[in-house]
Amino acid sequence: MLSLKFQRKAVLEKLYGKIANKEPILVCGAGTGLIARLEDQSGADIIVVYSSGKFRMNGHPAIAGNLPLGDCNQIMYDMGKNDILPVVKSTPVAAGVYGLDVTRDLEKFMMELGELGYSGVISFPTVAKFSGAMRAELESVGLGFQRELDLLKKAAGLGFFTMSYCYSPQEARQLAQVGTDIIISHCGLTSGGDVGAQGQAPLEAAAQRTDEILSAALAENPRVIPLCHGGSISTPADAEFVINHSCAKGFVGASSVERLPVEKAIKDTVSQYLSIKIK
């Protein structure tokens, strides 16, 4: 077992304490060092680093992180080493590891991540994003969801706390069965802003979907930490509604924490400068 910066037991005990005190859990994505430093200073419970963050904060839709546009595991490794881990002082950081990566010994790779300063692993990108013929073909050649479950089990065995996005009750049950610590209902690409999804389902539908997914996980393991994410949940008020209308105990904000606020702040600031009246 690795000697990690933040031990799994301590991280989970803090989160269970927040649940007991009816305090919301907040996990934040970070695509740049500046964003990570501000999230750390602001009291985020966990920071997650994955390839989508790089694409998002470079002006592209976050879903680009699910496409073959680069080595997602290397992108995450480099972001952590060069930009994010050096500036985060007080918050555990989870690495987005792609479990379908056939080019690496992923157990050895995760040991390197622990030495780098990561304390958790989130299975991302995930094959669960795919359906239809693409998903069926991946599953048929052994590049399916089971590899991600195996990854999470290996990560836990090394001492990492483990996380996964989830798109269905069936997969929620599987994640809970292998002991995944934090399961996040995924309601789709976050809406809003310049590169967000359009036409997302209303919040009521997001709350219902969240509850169905997370209830399935909790039925398998009541110690799962259930969080919500994505789709029409793009503001603190949206997250509050879904948390209070489902069994979610907190929120994972990526686009909604680092992209949307930055878009608004930069546009507003530039507009104010351009409104200067010269006498």
Q: What is the tens place of the pLDDT at every residue in 226-239? A: 999 999 999 999 99
Tally helices (H) and strands (E) across the chain. 11, 8
pLDDT reported for residue 195:
61
Classify residue 276 by its DSSP letter. P
Distance, CA of 139 to CA of 135 (rounded, Å): 6
207 CB-near residues (< 8 Å, 6+ apart)? 241, 242, 245, 246
pLDDT reported for residue 22:
98
The model's pTM? 0.93
Q: Residue 170: pLDDT band by 50, 70, 90 thresholds?
A: very high
Task: Indicate if the pLDDT at residue 199 is higher than 70.
Answer: no
Q: pLDDT tens-digit profile of 60-81?
A: 888 888 888 899 999 999 999 9
On the 0-12 / 13-18 / 19+ scale of CB atoms within 10 A, 143 is: middle
Q: Cα–Cα distances in Å, from 78 out to 12, 15, 74, 90? A: 27, 28, 6, 20
Distance, CA of 225 to CA of 16 (rounded, Å): 8
pLDDT reported for residue 217:
98
